[in-house]
Amino acid sequence: MDPRTFPTKGNLMLAKNSLSLSKLGYDLMDRKRNILIRELMEIIDEARTIQDEIDSTFTYAYQCLQRANIEHGISLVAQLAYTVPIEDSVTIQTRSIMGTEIPHVKYEPRVGLPTYSFSTTKESIDMATKAFHRVKDLTVKLSMVENSAYRLAASIKKTQKRVNALQNITIPMYAALVYHISNALEEKEREEFTRLKIIKARKEA
């Protein structure tokens, strides 16, 4: 038998403290869950907006690329693609939402000079380049938003498990323990009171 369940005043105090802490923990976890859910809903709305925009942008970009391939040939377009510099302006930082680390991407779009000659290319190359720059910008934003959504969803799931455990297991367990010890102590007090009355009555007799 667990010594913590013995009906003593010390165990009653411990059980009451544990019950109070469990209720406080439940309130905090419930508040955290609600804040994370609200944040996730906002991110999902943002992701949906970006996704709609990126779908239309991708479609337009590939139409521009197809036109450029037709006018210049796939081989030349592929060669021009190799002249595009590697993107190295993306930096990833994090911010905390109720203990959940959310990525924050810093990205500065480059507005540099074209890496190809105007004299040997047509307008379709310019249009394709501009369209794919827009695709890159949106892809960076979408990756940050989706990653944040996944992390928040995982944190919400973990928090929900803790909330359920506190609500359905821990709090009822300590509430029952407080009730059991309180009843046992009250019963002892009644027995002691009755015993003292009997002793007093015998002495008076």
Tens digit of each residue's pLDDT (9 = 90 or more) over 82-112 = 877 777 778 888 888 888 888 888 877 766 6
User: Would you tell me how many other CB atoms lie within 10 Å of the CB of residue 115?
Assistant: 12
Give residue 113's pLDDT: 66
Give residue 53's pLDDT: 87
133: exposed, middle or buried (C-beta count within 10 Å: 0-12, 13-18, 19+)?
middle
Give residue 133's pLDDT: 85
Tens digit of each residue's pLDDT (9 = 90 or more) over 132-175 = 888 888 888 888 888 889 999 999 999 999 999 999 999 999 99
Give residue 163's pLDDT: 93
9: exposed, middle or buried (C-beta count within 10 Å: 0-12, 13-18, 19+)?
exposed
Cα separation, 178 vs 21, in Å, equals 13
Tens digit of each residue's pLDDT (9 = 90 or more) over 173-200 = 999 999 998 888 888 877 777 777 777 7
Give me the residues paired with residue 104 across strands: 93
